Amino acid sequence: MSARPQPASAVRPYDVERVRRDFPILATRVNGHPLTYLDSAASSQRPRQVLRAIEDYETHSHANVHRGVHTLSQAATGAFEGARERARRFINAASVREVIFVRGTTEGINLVAQSYARPRYRTGDEILISALEHHANIVPWQLVCEQTRCTLKVAPINTRGELDYEAFRRLLSPRTRLVAVAHISNALGTILPVAELIRDAHAQGAVVLIDGAQAAPHTRVDVQALGADFYTFSAHKMYGPTGIGVLYAREALLESMPPWQGGGDMIRTVSFERTTYNELPYRFEAGTPNISGAIGLAAAMDYLESLSLEAVAAHEARLLELATAQVGALPDIELIGTAAHKAAVLSFTMRGVHAHDLGTILDAEGVAVRTGHHCAMPVMTFFNVPATARASFGCYNTEEDVARLVAALQRARGLFG
């Protein structure tokens, strides 16, 4: 976390009702009940400020970027590059050259896997991940292992869903070329000690990719303070639109990487004999980008910072504490993931009820939770459950939402007797 000064809003009491008024969708009724949206870890809702920024851009400024001399193209380019600068400030990257727009976390990780890891690694090299990763931070490395014959190592977790740090350290060795871990687990909510982990990995000469999909909405991310080599996240989990995210990468690493995808915008000159590539970050952004998405992402960053990330995190921590106590006290409920350091996610099972049935019953009461394996099948295998129900919290959730969840779970228990 950075020591940057806190915005003035951090000292104001958190006014969740005012925040809720920014999110029109929260007025929706579901199955005759007010919507209780507890699925922000899958995708958060967007405030008017984001919706308006996208509409303004689409209404008044849209054209293709980087290519035209005409007024609209210049307006679009200005807005798009302004969004890049906004993203740079949000994560405190040293330069906009280090901020690559991608479709989301999944694409960010695949870009690093294919452009950084694949050309470098060979038999004997190791990639180290943890046992709580999302499939997006497992499968791209398995592909690299198949392509290069390097080896995937997996650091275990304990029964609370925390990384077994001693085991992680034992797996780190001079053979470890890359460490890729989540900042916060989507299935369990565990916050990983990423600053320490990056220091230890660097001491062995490995580079580190942090999957920040679940961290960006809940934690102030300072890539320079962390020392991350790669850090990636998605806009749609932080009150921005789908189809856009950021890959941060240290400039020296990007300079050493071949382009991943070829096409327009990523080139300087093309002939049939030889093509030369554009400068950073454009070399990694082939084709027309998601312009309105980037503008929406920038508006989401403005919005989150206007609330104060610290204030949002404190609000969510209070809700998580309340929900953990109340849901955990219900009969036949088992909490899955009880790490000492957690953020905004409560995973659980109800004895005798499949998570999908539970999710359907809760939906009948207007309570939206995610059920399933949460794209983290190895985590489900570790806890020996086919699936969990997961309630996740965002800046707009209330104690009333927790009460509705608890009441709906009690009714579900009654139904299954």
For residues 202 and 164, is the Cβ–Cβ distance under 8 A? Answer: no
* Position among 144, 155, 197, 213 found at the interface with ligand PMP (CB under 6 A): 213
Minimum gap (Å) between residue 134 Cβ and ligand PMP: 4
For residues 246 and 294, is the Cβ–Cβ distance under 8 A? Answer: no
Q: How many residues bind ligand PMP (CB under 6 A)?
A: 13
Minimum gap (Å) between residue 13 Cβ and ligand PMP: 30
Residue 245 structure tokens:
């995210």
Question: Which positions from 116 to 135 touch ligand PMP by CB under 6 A, shown as an x/- string?
Answer: ------------------x-
For residues 387 and 373, is the Cβ–Cβ distance under 8 A? Answer: yes
Minimum gap (Å) between residue 343 Cβ and ligand PMP: 11
Interacting residues with ligand PMP between 160 and 189 (CB under 6 A): 182, 186
* Position among 61, 105, 219, 388 found at the interface with ligand PMP (CB under 6 A): 105
Please give the radius of gyration of the chain, using alpha carbons only, rounded to the nearest integer. 22
Nearer to ligand PMP, 61 or 231 (CB): 231
Backbone angles phi, psi at 324, to 5 degrees: -60, -45
How far is the C-alpha of 172 from the C-alpha of 155, rounded, in Å?
9
Q: From start to end of 99-188, where are the E strands? A: 99-102, 126-130, 151-155, 176-182
Give Cα separations from 160 to 76, 133, 157, 163, 270 (angstroms): 48, 15, 8, 9, 54
Nearer to ligand PMP, 213 or 362 (CB): 213
Distance of CA 297 to the CA centre of its chain: 13
Nearer to ligand PMP, 114 or 214 (CB): 214
Distance of CA 223 to the CA centre of its chain: 14
Nearer to ligand PMP, 114 or 234 (CB): 234
For residues 258 and 39, is the Cβ–Cβ distance under 8 A? Answer: no
Question: Which positions from 223 to 262 touch ligand PMP by CB under 6 A, shown as an x/- string?
Answer: -----------x----------------------------
Nearer to ligand PMP, 111 or 312 (CB): 111
* Position among 136, 312, 379, 409 found at the interface with ligand PMP (CB under 6 A): 136
Minimum gap (Å) between residue 79 Cβ and ligand PMP: 23
Neighbours of 223 (CB within 10 A): 24
The yes-or-no answer on residue 145 being catalytic is no
Q: What is the DSSP letter of 338?
A: -
The interface region with ligand PMP, picked from 161-169, 210-218, 284-292, 341-349 by CB under 6 A, is 210-218
Nearer to ligand PMP, 83 or 247 (CB): 247
For residues 296 and 244, is the Cβ–Cβ distance under 8 A? Answer: yes
Q: Which residues are catalytic?
A: 375
Question: What does the binding site for ligand PMP look like in residue numbers (CB under 6 A)?
Answer: 104-106, 134, 136-137, 182, 186, 211, 213-214, 234, 375
